[in-house]
Amino acid sequence: MTKLPAFASRAPAVADEAPLRRELVFVVPGRLDQLTGGYLFDRHIVEGLRARGRVVRVIELTGGRPKANAAVLAGVADGTETVVDGLALANLGEVVAAQARRLPVVAFVHGPLAQESGLPPAEAKRAAQREAALLSRLRGVLCPSRKTAAAVESYGVSPDRIAIVPPGTVKPNRYLRPRLGPVRALLCVANLLPRKGHGVLVEALAQIRDLEWHLLCVGSLERDPPTARSVRRMISAAGLEQRITLAGEWPPQSVAHAYRKADAFVLPSFHEGYGMVFAEAMAYGLPLIATAAGAIPETVSLEAALLVPPGDSAALARALRRMIAEPALAARLAAGSRAAGARLPEWPKATEEWERAFDRLMALNPPS
């Protein structure tokens, strides 16, 4: 998570002598200044488009207020190019669908809602049906990875209406020295949600209590209180209160400092539509331990990481033991991480690619 410019809810005013530019409306559920990967991606794109001279107006919809949200979207002029964050489709899909009859809409799907961990099978099936029905009515879909694009295509969306644009990264402004010596400081950056696998991580760490390590978990404890309570109970039951710190949500500059201080990064997600924190960890040259779930193998270079099956605490414990007990392995993965991180696109380039893909989708005829 990296520092961003202050967010403004309205597009900057255009000077009288400036040429008239088309407005782009960017629709998100809730506040845009939330510290999750999807919202950070959205904010970087909004600010990047404005820096490129595009007039962008952000609309922050509120869950549980369909009439008010419908009225807000109804105020958007006919034909206005509109992008809707995929998270809005969970509770606001019908509102968006109603407006798609008069607005050219592209969805920005970070990951299929039906693949969220913890959904009962029947609910996941209903979510997939709702998502498929809506996406097929839009001008196109922007995705951060091939894995997410494949899921969208499985909904029946034509491949020519899908574009893949990975997010950018902010590279550290100081030279990254080679990481040498033992691995002791482990870092996990993720909000405590079922999909992120914190419980599996605690189970794995309990199996290597004979080694010297400390885990810092940075991420909100408020987004899913039952998950946070469950993880706290697991830590207490394992007697690891002094070795695992649940730090809560930190501002971007503090997260950047945590990356610099860490010896290795670990996050055993059950699914990721891309996984921006993995890219950030590579930008900081950290060796990684992750799972082979979702788009993670697409995001994380094998020269930088040990990948294990999702949900397998024994395999995760073995990978952690190797990372901590084999300094040469950790150093090799760190070198691979620095190399992979150096190849990642920065945000200006990612924004340029996103805008080009958005314009291509907008140029398509409406779906029949």
**How do residues 317-358 score in pLDDT, each as one tens digit?**
999 999 999 999 999 999 999 999 999 999 999 999 999 999
- Domains of the chain, CATH where assigned: 23-168+346-362 (3.40.50.2000), 185-343 (3.40.50.2000)
Nearest-Å Rg of the Cα atoms of the chain is 21
Contact 180, 331 (CB under 8 A): yes
Contact 205, 240 (CB under 8 A): yes
Q: In the 8-state DSSP scheme, what is residue 367?
A: P
pLDDT single digits (tens) 6-65? 333 334 444 444 444 578 999 998 888 888 888 999 999 999 999 999 999 999 988 667
pLDDT single digits (tens) 191-244? 999 999 999 999 999 999 999 999 999 999 999 999 999 999 999 999 999 999
Position 182 pLDDT exceeds 90 = no
Strands annotated E in the chain: 23-29, 55-61, 81-85, 105-108, 140-143, 162-164, 185-189, 214-218, 244-248, 264-267, 288-291, 305-308
Q: Can you give the pTM of this predicted structure?
A: 0.86
What is the rounded distance in angstroms from the CA atom of residue 323 to the CA atom of residue 340?
Answer: 19
